Amino acid sequence: MPVIGVCAAFEAARWGFWDQRAAIVPATYLDKIATAGAIAIGLLPDERGAGEPDALLDRVDGLMLVGGVDVSPASYGEPQSDRTEATEPLRDTFELNLARAAMLRDIPILGICRGLQIMNVATGGTLHQHLLDAGYAEHRPSPGRLDHATFHEVDVVSGTRAAAVCGAGVQVVNSHHHQGVDVLGDGAVVTARSLPDHVPEALEWPQQRFALGVQWHPEAAELSHALTDFVSCTAETAPGEPLR
């Protein structure tokens, strides 16, 4: 059974009588991974892991980068504006290093929301710190929700990894973000754009076995097949590597 490493978030959390910051992975991601036929393990932001990402990647068949707080502009060499919200520099470094190492090893990667942005920055791209300031539409119409209030249309290129997630042509997805892709990372191709403002909503790296980032949230949508292609790809033998 494929093992998917899911990068955890650092967030305030409550359970039992505890109320403190914790490394967490929402159950929506875990459920979709299980439905697709894999098992998930959490990858916790850690300085040692950031310095030696291969020690973690040796233990997984695929890497998932999930949603969360803003990516710090320092990660792509720009000053922080007053529009940037909460950031987690250790999480940024940890995930950027994992993404770069995974691409070098051709380990399948799926990025969701913030995860797409991490993949773009990891390959040399940049972000808009606030889409409204850049002349784009509001992509966070209902903070804290991913239901119908956040639905909008995207135009998805047929025959792509993104199309396998949600379908080709004009599709309805859910999104919740105020940062967005600006300069594309090296090797990245836009395979879905928001309508009508044309913000990149999906990026792929065709030279990789599987490297897809989507700005929407397939883990929160009613799509039982949302992660099937990703998990299936992790079960394939990589060039020069035996199956675990």
Q: What is the DSSP code string of 118-171?
A: HHHHHTT--EES-GGGGTPPPS-SSTT--SGGGEEEEEE-TTSHHHHHH-SEEE
Cα 64 from Cα 66, distance rounded (Å): 6
Task: Say if residue 42 is exposed, middle or buried (CB neighbours under 10 Å; 0-12, 13-18, 19+).
Answer: middle
Task: Answer yes or no: 113 catalytic.
Answer: yes
Active-site residue, from 113, 128, 178, 204: 113
Query: Quick one: tokens of 50?
Result: 């950031």
Active-site residue, from 7, 95, 219, 233: 219
Active-site residue, from 152, 176, 178, 217: 217
Three-state SS at 181: strand
Which positions are annotated as active-site residues?
A: 113, 217, 219
